[in-house]
Amino acid sequence: MRRHPVAQMVIVGAIASAIGIAIALVIDWFPADAAEQAKPIDTLYDVLMIVSVPVFVLVTVVTLFAAWNFRMRPGQEHEDGPPIHGNTRLEVIWTAVPAILLVSLCSYAYVVLRDIEEKQPNTLVVHVTGQQFAWRYRYPQEGGRALETTQLVLPKDRPVLFKVHAEDVIHDFWVPAFRVKIDAVPGITTEVRATPTKLGRFPVVCAELCGLGHAVMRSTVRVVSPAAYDRWIEAQAAPATGGGTTGGEAGGGEGGGGATDLAALGRETFVSNCGSCHTLADAGTSGAAGPDLTTALAGQDEATIREDIVDPDKRVAEGYQAGVMPSNFAETLSAEQIDGLVAYLASVSR
Ligand code: CUA
């Protein structure tokens, strides 16, 4: 038996909604959740899907149904539709229902946002700076000092407040496993909170088109035990103190000690300026935006290395693009730092 067209429409709509909701909920859209903030956000996502899939299906099915059933048939070319002037009840319903839905969902989303952004005791503050095309991290230390590094290491189960900055253009700090994401905007400081709950390494991604190297502006967050975190902070802080003295003596000329100091300054400069994009086993860096220098450096002489640092687009390694590596290191680094980099990298290349 043939059903009434509106009954058909309702049946098609119900089946399509069920399939849509099943797809939305069954597929695991997100990476592993590694922060306290992840669960409430995933639940929010599921609820939004359950509500919005039927709305989408309803609109689509009614549109297709109307287009098919009320299409113009031969002989109707000069006819006009019936003169309809409003339907108060229908208009009240289709205004009220979406309004109630929107207000409810916005209230729910607001509550989730307020919960995940709640201030918590014993919060670790980490400054994140985006610059074409790498992330840098700064850990404020006691006594007003700060630890600058290209590595993001966090202790498990301790709340973290990221204070996010940008040096040049707008970037976007995103840790998919934490489900947190915030724009890095030049001139202002944005904030986002996360409490890591799983040990391991998770990707940090730039989620705002920021230039040629946007796609390679990636980093890694390493979540470790609180004890391992304390050891890491200590180990990072130690060479930084030594570095101050080294820098002062680096001008000391070609004596045996001077050359070693210059290379030490170079290694330090490399770790904080180059390591987020270049892997170099000797420096312990693992960036992947540029060539892996552990192999690419072999046999390069000092002149070539210097040119590759100050004029990177002159000779671009195969498989990489010009314009990704900053071309202003001659201005942003001191002459001493560049001499150090050249000395260090030349010593590694041998
Ligand atoms: Cu930085 Cu995209």
What are the tokens at 295?
């192999």
Helix segments in 151-278, DSSP class H: 226-249, 256-273
213 lines ligand 1 (CB under 6 A): no
Query: For the chain, which residues score pLDDT lower than 50?
Result: 240-256
193 lines ligand 1 (CB under 6 A): no
Q: What percentage of the chain reaches a pLDDT higher than 90?
A: 38
- Collapsed DSSP state (helix, strand, coil) of residue 216: helix
List the Cα angle 281/286/291 in 5-degree steps: 85
Query: Are the CB atoms for 42 and 28 separated by under 8 Å?
Result: no
Q: What is the pLDDT at residue 348?
A: 84
Q: What is the pLDDT at residue 71?
A: 87
Residue written as token pair 């399509």: 16
CA dist 243 and 344 (Å) reads 14
CA dist 210 and 341 (Å) reads 27
Spacing, Cα 207 to ligand 1 middle (Å): 6
Q: What is the pLDDT at residue 246?
A: 38
The β-bridge relationship of strands 160-166 and 146-149 is unpaired
289 lines ligand 1 (CB under 6 A): no
Region for residue 219 given its phi and psi (left: phi exceeds 0; alpha: psi -120 to 50; beta: otherwise): beta
Residue nearest to atom 1 of ligand 1 (CA): 171
Q: What is the pLDDT at residue 239?
A: 54
pLDDT digits 0-9 by tens, 209-247: 998 889 888 889 999 999 999 999 888 876 544 444 333
Spacing, Cα 317 to ligand 1 middle (Å): 22
Q: What is the pLDDT at residue 153?
A: 94
Residue written as token pair 């992947």: 288
Spacing, Cα 208 to ligand 1 middle (Å): 5
208 lines ligand 1 (CB under 6 A): yes
- List the beta strands (DSSP E) in the chain: 124-131, 134-140, 146-149, 152-155, 160-166, 171-175, 180-184, 190-194, 200-206, 218-224, 279-280, 285-286
Residue written as token pair 């942003």: 332
218 lines ligand 1 (CB under 6 A): no
Query: Are the CB atoms for 217 and 171 separated by under 8 Å?
Result: yes
The β-bridge relationship of strands 160-166 and 124-131 is parallel
Q: What is the pLDDT at residue 260?
A: 73
According to DSSP, the residues that pair with 126 across neighbouring strands are 162
CA dist 165 and 181 (Å) reads 13
CA dist 346 and 350 (Å) reads 7
Closest ligand 1 atom to residue 130 Cα is 1
Within 10 Å of residue 207's Cβ, how many Cβ atoms?
16
User: For residue 309, which of 330, 294, 291, 288 has the smallest C-alpha distance?
Assistant: 330
Q: What is the pLDDT at residue 119?
A: 93
Rg value, the chain, Cα? 29
User: For residue 342, which of 288, 279, 240, 269 has the smallest C-alpha distance?
Assistant: 269
What are the tokens at 289?
């935006």
Q: What is the pLDDT at residue 241?
A: 44
Query: Are the CB atoms for 112 and 157 separated by under 8 Å?
Result: no
